[in-house]
Amino acid sequence: MEYSTFGRHVAVDTWGVDFELLNNAEWLQSQLVEAAEVCGATVLSVQSQQFEPQGATVLVLLSESHLSIHTYPEKGFAALDCYTCGETVDPQLAIDYLVSILKPKNVYAKKLIRGMGEFQVETPEFQQAQLVK
């Protein structure tokens, strides 16, 4: 059996997110698992780390690659990335779900199309309704 190396890798910085949301590794883990399921990915395992005095990392290992979050609650900042191989799972759906629940004031993002030779770099659009201004 062979699988397609085509992959989409979305990296997103979110700003202006509530401290308490970003400082709860257990809650973030449940939300990343939910996000993976929303985009149709299969979760194989999860690691998470609660940092002191604040901050969290969650890494979700997917059949299709990975989903991650790294948070700086004191800055209202979280860095996400979702990389999925194949055509059937769209990582943007997982990112959109996470943005919808984190409710950042501002978002910066890049999407890399990879696994096909030279990378293509795109800038995903986020609907204004997803952001709390």
Give the binding-site size for its own copies (rule: CB under 8 A): 40
56-62 and 7-15: which strand pairing?
unpaired
For its own copies, the binding residue among 59, 90, 103, 124 (CB under 8 A) is: 59
Q: Is 66 designated active site?
A: no
Give the C-alpha separation, 22 to 100, whole Å: 14
State yes or no: residue 50 binds its own copies (CB under 8 A): no
Residue ranges in 26-45 that form contacts with its own copies under rule CB under 8 A: 44-45
CA angle 101, 104, 110 (to 5 degrees): 100
Look up residue 111 and give its amino acid: K
Residue ranges in 86-125 that form contacts with its own copies under rule CB under 8 A: 108-110, 112, 114-115, 117-119, 121
For its own copies, the binding residue among 30, 70, 90, 103 (CB under 8 A) is: 70
What is the CB neighbour count within 10 angstroms for residue 83?
19
State yes or no: residue 126 binds its own copies (CB under 8 A): no
For its own copies, the binding residue among 1, 20, 125, 129 (CB under 8 A) is: 1
**Residue where the block lists tokens 């400082």:** 23
